[in-house]
Structure 1
Amino acid sequence: MQATNFWMADVKWDQEPDVREVKRLYNLLPVDSRTALRGLQELAARGSLAAALYIATYFDRQTEDTRDEAECIKWYRKAGAMGSRAALYQLGVKLFTNGNLSGAEAAFKDGADKEFSPSMYRLACIYIDKNDEVYRPKINSLLKKASKKGHLFSTRDYMSRLLSGKYGELERIMGVLMIPVFIFRLCTFIGRAIIKGPYLDETGYA
């Protein structure tokens, strides 16, 4: 996954039906959204993942008063089904925010099965809320895997769990050893946020 491209990382541009047209329509969105959306929908029907993502993020970025949440969720779901792990993650976030916890869990699990670290983290959080004791092996496994992928928040939470001492002295020592790793990743995250604005990679999404 490219460090500066969270949303479009799973787009295979060489397999897009019309790269020039999808980019033209994306640039048209702020000027003539109706025409642009109609064109993007046609491209999505032809198999354009980029078009589906552009539509989903367009609806998502509207103000709360004007946002069509149903359309937003519909297009994140479509983009997820077309292969976007970022769309599956954002679908889960949307469903969770709207109170659909089972739907959110399913979306995050789908993303976690595809080794997407933000989805692993959010799925672990759902398990923590459900029952930390019952789901402890799954929680620790998800946080550990996401941490190995460089995910900042998973590193923080997994480190904190090890430092708690609940899992034994060896694990507590492992937690201590993770402290400099977490500090380094936090500094990297802050640096990227300053330099690249909102265009972070998957390691910075929670």
Structure 2
Amino acid sequence: MYRDNQRSIIAAVGSEPVSIFGCGNPPAIVMFASAQSCGGGPVKCIFCKICEERAAILDRKYFEWLEALSNNQALAKQDPDLQRINDAYDLLKTDSAESFRQFLALAESGSVWSMATIGRLFETAEGTDRDLVQAEAWYSRAYEAGSDYALIWLGQLYLRSNRFEKAIDVFRTGVDRGFAPAMYYLALSYWKSGDWPRKRSEAMSLLERGFEAGDLAAGPFLGHSMVRGRFGWQHMLAGLQFLIKVVEAQAKVIEDDKAGREDIGENRPGFFGRLAASFWTASQARTGTTPETGGTSFLPAGP
């Protein structure tokens, strides 16, 4: 139960999975000039396969970073109903409705970890009908009780429903308590809110801090925003230089990951990391949520 492979963070675009560090569009399609050579059907070019492989590594490393900085594990281990959480999770694939009922009972009894989980189940329609009002209510309860994952999920819910001021308030709470993943999301909220001209200096600082803290989503957003003049024309040249730094950082992450897996075997998440990963992956696929990047795995862009 504790050794399942972790799935990468994906969002569905048509029928093609798209990594948060991938192209932002379905993988490139190469059409053969001669219909006879391939029956006239589109095929993925070999560079797409390389891009997807690298994007999958960056996705996984992003999630590992997020999990390491969050209090997800601590909240779970502090839960007095740890065995019941295990039991409810075991039912997710075989009887999602019963799993939902068990998680709901745990959440109603005060389990903070289960509050965030039941909010996710409401949002992704696992074991129940999709109910964003209930998802928001449970996210809010878990967020108010201190759950880092609930903070991100609640803020994302607000972003997707264009309630930008609420998203800003939630992510600012995370930044104020030093939760590095919230820095990228607060900057993204400023961009989406239309308040960018007044907030762009703060956003730039947030993205710089996030990048230095290891956030693989912050660097691409920062670099491409600089190049596009979003922080003023005076930062455009520096943006090009910074993007080189981002590419080098991503290449090192990929190289170190491959070397590490060859030396000691692939590290797999424990139970609570695995469960969080499964909810994160499912939600990205069903809601098309942030982080939002474009470009390629070598040079992803900001939104």
Question: What residue is the counterpart of 2:81 in the other structure?
Answer: 18
SS at match of 2:64: coil
Question: What residue is the counterpart of 1:3 in the other structure?
Answer: 64
- Kindly tell me: are residues 37 and 66 of structure 1, through their superposed partners in 2, closer, same or farther at Cα, counting changes over 3 Å? closer
- Does structure 1 residue 180 correspond to structure 2 residue 245? yes
Q: Cα offset for 1:61?
A: 2.1
Q: Cα offset for 1:153?
A: 2.3
Flag structure 1 segments of 5+ consecutive residues without an equivalent: none
Q: Cα offset for 1:89?
A: 1.2
Q: Identity across aligned pairs (percent)?
A: 23
Question: What residue is the counterpart of 1:78 in the other structure?
Answer: 141
Calculate the aligned-residue CA RMSD, in Å. 3.8
Question: What residue is the counterpart of 2:201 in the other structure?
Answer: 137
- Of residues 117, 139, 144, the one that matches 1:54 is 117
Q: Cα offset for 1:154?
A: 1.2
Q: Is the 8 A contact 1:2 1:9 kept in 2?
A: no
Q: Is the 8 A contact 1:95 1:104 kept in 2?
A: yes
Question: What residue is the counterpart of 1:87 in the other structure?
Answer: 150
- Kindly tell me: are residues 56 and 8 of structure 1, through their superposed partners in 2, closer, same or farther at Cα, counting changes over 3 Å? farther
Q: Is the 8 A contact 1:11 1:50 kept in 2?
A: no
- Of residues 203, 215, 219, the one that matches 1:151 is 215
Q: Is the 8 A contact 1:144 1:154 kept in 2?
A: yes
Q: Is the 8 A contact 2:107 2:114 kept in 1?
A: yes
- Kindly tell me: are residues 13 and 127 of structure 1, through their superposed partners in 2, closer, same or farther at Cα, counting changes over 3 Å? closer
- Of residues 73, 97, 101, the one that matches 2:160 is 97
Q: Is the 8 A contact 2:171 2:186 kept in 1?
A: yes
Question: How far, CA to CA, are the matches of 1:98 and 1:173 in structure 2?
Answer: 34
- Kindly tell me: are residues 186 and 58 of structure 1, through their superposed partners in 2, closer, same or farther at Cα, counting changes over 3 Å? farther
Q: Is the 8 A contact 1:10 1:83 kept in 2?
A: no
- The structure that is strand-richer by fraction is 2
Question: What residue is the counterpart of 2:172 in the other structure?
Answer: 109
Question: How far, CA to CA, are the matches of 2:242 and 2:103 in structure 1?
Answer: 49
Question: What residue is the counterpart of 2:90 in the other structure?
Answer: 27
Q: How many residues align?
A: 199
Question: How far, CA to CA, are the matches of 2:66 and 2:187 in structure 1?
Answer: 24
Deviates more, 1:137-146 or 1:94-103: 94-103
Q: Deviations over 1:20-61 (max 9, x none)?
A: 111102222444455443433332344322222321222222
Question: How far, CA to CA, are the matches of 1:86 and 1:186 in structure 2?
Answer: 28
Q: Cα offset for 1:11?
A: 3.7
Q: Is the 8 A contact 1:26 1:54 kept in 2?
A: no
Question: How far, CA to CA, are the matches of 2:198 and 2:65 in structure 1?
Answer: 37
- Kindly tell me: are residues 154 and 15 of structure 1, through their superposed partners in 2, closer, same or farther at Cα, counting changes over 3 Å? same
Q: Is the 8 A contact 2:71 2:148 kept in 1?
A: no
Question: How far, CA to CA, are the matches of 2:66 and 2:200 in structure 1?
Answer: 32
- Kindly tell me: are residues 76 and 182 of structure 1, through their superposed partners in 2, closer, same or farther at Cα, counting changes over 3 Å? farther
Amino acid at match of 1:131: D
- The structure that is helix-richer by fraction is 1
Amino acid at match of 1:180: K
Greater RCO (Cα-Cα under 8 Å, separation 6 or more): 2
TM-score after normalising by structure 1: 0.74
Question: Max radius of gyration: which structure?
Answer: 2
